Amino acid sequence: MKHFITITLARADQGARIAVIAGAALMIVIVSVQVVMRYVFNESLDWADEVSRLAFVTTIFLAIPLGIPDGTHVGIEMLVSRFPERIHAFTLRIMSLLAAGMMMVVCYTSIVVASVTWSERLGSLDLTSSVFFLPVAIGAAHSALHLLKMSIWAPEPAK
């Protein structure tokens, strides 16, 4: 079971990495073109701000779960790192479980807000404004899965 979950999360991570790279590249291209259009041609692309903002939101929220397994997110370990190994591992599991619960709440709430705002349209695109909540829901669900895995199979504490 652990092997299946590890493989599934590795594939989800790879998909998220590709989406993050594509989102960042799209954002860079759109903002660069928009700058050239404004300052060289004195024109503007109406849709550029919304698309680059959507690319930014997607990039950020899909990248969050990628740092969880490595422990690269900011954490305060001043007290916990001094615990004996068994207590440290137990604390890591409990905190991972609580964080997974929080991510599930974020996922659920973003789905609810997306469904409530589904009829609202973006100003320059014929697209629902709820598209901004979809990467939040996906990133929160992906994060919750990583955190649940960590709460069941705690990684070795860093020395």
Q: What is the pLDDT of residues 29-41, one digit of tens each?
A: 999 999 999 999 9
Where do runs of H (alpha helix) occur along the chain? 2-39, 48-67, 85-116, 134-152
From CA 88, how far away is CA 90, in angstroms rounded? 5
Q: Give me the mean pLDDT over the 120-148 stretch.
A: 92
Min mean pLDDT across 37-51, 68-82, 86-100 is at 68-82
Residue 50 has pLDDT above 80, yes or no: yes
pLDDT band at residue 59 using 50, 70 and 90 as cut-offs: very high
Residue 155 has pLDDT above 70, yes or no: no
Residue 77 has pLDDT above 80, yes or no: no
Single out the residue of 102, 141, 150 nearest to residue 6, CA to CA: 150
Q: Check residue 104 and give its pLDDT.
A: 97
pTM of the model: 0.85
Please say whether the beta carbons of 24 and 59 come within 8 A: yes
* Pairwise pLDDT comparison (102 vs 4), residue with the higher score: 102
Q: Which residue has the tokens 């964080």?
A: 99
With the CA atoms of 101, 136, 8 and 26 taken in that order, what torsion angle do they form, in degrees rounded to the nearest 10?
-160
Q: Check residue 36 and give its pLDDT.
A: 94
pLDDT band at residue 64 using 50, 70 and 90 as cut-offs: very high
Q: Where on the phi/psi map is residue 26: left (φ > 0), alpha (ψ -120 to 50), or beta? A: alpha
